[in-house]
């Protein structure tokens, strides 16, 4: 029996070499119950010696129209998203549900140029946040596989959300009092790759971006208390990481007059504001009150605990995967709750 690995061996090539039928070879790989254990083991061993790993999976997918692979299209690069505690928890939830149903996960970066190279090889798409590349949004909405969107809506596709407007309004109302000086530290509000105040820059991706819903909730609460937040008191951070959050925190805390309420669009930002306030000997909450958003576990591991909006990102991931696998046509609004800590 030859031992040299041959490339591009076909099912027909192997059947000819082993002097058996293509159906028998196929059964050995895909339908083991059709052969005796001894015969199957003999065929698999012979195929291994030939360097044949089995029927072409891509061809099988195209022929059957099913791969058991679900693509999760991320809002940003894979490197960035898997380091974000909220995104990684969401992916964990999706993975749990797919594993229970013997499905597989494909992570796809939201800054990619196109999804056309994977459309034929996945059974559907879960879009976690609006992809940074707007072309992907159009391609996803125009293709023929089922889609579930998370934290944004896309046409008539099924979606999973929390009520971000209400949640941000509620947590802001906990912190705000008349005569407060308010600053907001947001995420991806304008087209800038650095931390800055938004001033008169046009807001980007208003239709799809969840942080704009949070901004609307904050501003509604501010207005109800009789306050005004100028655009010079609203900061943009391009990514949810410590580097950008720290820069924004230091700018806010060193501004004059210093705000005494800082509404943050993530717990990670709020935690960085708390750390910076401690470095500057600013008392929290007596001199500065801080709110966060998401309810990540780190928010309860700092002192004082962050006042925040809790949402279960793991449950959100599980729900999105379940809706896709079940072929549901009903969107889902998940619950949230306020988690009051010692920062207000």
Report the CATH number of the 11-55 domain: 1.10.260.40
State the CATH architecture for 65-161: 3-Layer(aba) Sandwich (3.40)
Radius of gyration for the chain, computed over Cα atoms and rounded to the nearest angstrom: 26
- In this structure, the dihedral spanned by the alpha carbons of residues 197, 194, 165 and 317, taken in order and rounded to 10 degrees, is -170
Q: Of 307, 172, 171, whose CA–CA distance to 229 is shortest?
A: 172
The whole-angstrom separation of Cα 292 and Cα 304 is 13
Q: For the chain, give every residue range classified as CATH 3.40.50.2300.
A: 65-161, 164-311+335-339
Which tens digits make up the pLDDT trace of 151-209? 999 989 999 999 999 999 999 999 999 999 999 999 999 999 999 999 999 998 877 88
The more confident residue out of 209 and 148 is 148
pLDDT at 1 over 70: no
Contact (Cβ atoms closer than 8 angstroms) between residue 161 and residue 151: yes
Whole-prediction pTM value?
0.83
Written in H, E and C, the secondary structure of 214-239 is HHHHHHHHHHHCCCCCCHHHEEEECC
The single residue listed with the structure tokens 């969840």 is: 210
pLDDT at 6 over 80: no
State residue 319 phi and psi, 5-degree precision: -65, -40
pLDDT, position 81:
86
Which tens digits make up the pLDDT trace of 285-343? 999 999 999 999 999 999 999 999 999 999 999 999 999 999 999 999 999 999 999 99
The whole-angstrom separation of Cα 37 and Cα 120 is 34
pLDDT, position 295:
96
pLDDT, position 4:
45
The whole-angstrom separation of Cα 272 and Cα 278 is 10
Any bridge partners for residue 263, and if so which?
184, 291
Any bridge partners for residue 208, and if so which?
none
pLDDT, position 58:
64
The whole-angstrom separation of Cα 192 and Cα 190 is 6
Which tens digits make up the pLDDT trace of 42-71? 999 999 888 888 877 666 665 666 789 999
Q: For the chain, give every residue range classified as CATH 1.10.260.40.
A: 11-55
pLDDT at 239 over 60: yes
Query: Is the bond preceding 309 in cis, omega lying within 30 degrees of 0?
Result: no
Which tens digits make up the pLDDT trace of 7-53? 578 888 899 999 999 999 988 988 888 999 999 999 999 998 888 88
pLDDT, position 57:
64
Superfamily of domain 164-311+335-339 in CATH is: Response regulator (3.40.50.2300)
pLDDT, position 5:
45
């Amino acid at each position: 029996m030859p031992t040299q690995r041959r490339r591009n061996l076909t099912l027909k090539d192997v059947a000819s070499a082993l002097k058996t039928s293509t159906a028998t070879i196929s059964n050995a790989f895909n339908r083991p119950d059709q052969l005796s254990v001894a015969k199957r083991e003999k065929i698999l061993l012979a195929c291994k010696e030939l360097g044949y790993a089995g029927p072409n999976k891509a061809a099988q997918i195209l022929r059957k129209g099913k791969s058991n692979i679900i693509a999760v299209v991320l809002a940003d690069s894979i490197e960035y998203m898997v380091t974000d505690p909220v995104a990684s928890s969401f992916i964990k939830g999706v993975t749990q549900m797919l594993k229970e149903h013997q499905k597989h996960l494909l992570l796809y970066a939201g800054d990619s140029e196109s999804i056309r190279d994977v459309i034929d090889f996945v059974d559907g798409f879960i879009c976690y946040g609006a992809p940074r590349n707007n072309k992907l949004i159009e391609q996803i909405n125009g293709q023929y596989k089922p889609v579930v969107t998370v934290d944004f809506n896309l046409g008539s596709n099924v979606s999973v959300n929390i009520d971000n407007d209400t949640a941000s309004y509620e947590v802001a109302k906990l912190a705000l009092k008349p005569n407060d000086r308010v600053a907001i530290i947001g995420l991806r509000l304008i087209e800038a790759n650095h931390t800055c105040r938004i001033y008169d820059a046009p807001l980007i991706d208003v239709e799809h971006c969840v942080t704009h819903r949070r901004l609307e909730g904050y501003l509604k609460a501010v207005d109800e208390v009789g306050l005004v937040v100028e655009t010079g008191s609203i900061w943009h951070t391009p990514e949810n990481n410590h580097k950008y959050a720290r820069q924004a925190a230091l700018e806010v805390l060193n501004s004059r007059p210093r705000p005494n309420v800082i509404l943050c669009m993530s717990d990670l930002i709020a935690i960085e504001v708390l750390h910076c306030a401690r470095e500057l000997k600013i008392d929290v909450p007596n001199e500065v009150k801080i709110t966060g958003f998401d309810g990540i576990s780190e928010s309860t591991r700092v002192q004082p605990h962050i006042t925040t909006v809790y949402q279960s990102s793991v449950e959100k991931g599980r729900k999105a995967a379940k809706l896709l696998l079940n072929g549901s046509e009903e969107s889902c609004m998940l619950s949230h709750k306020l988690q009051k800590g010692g920062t207000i």
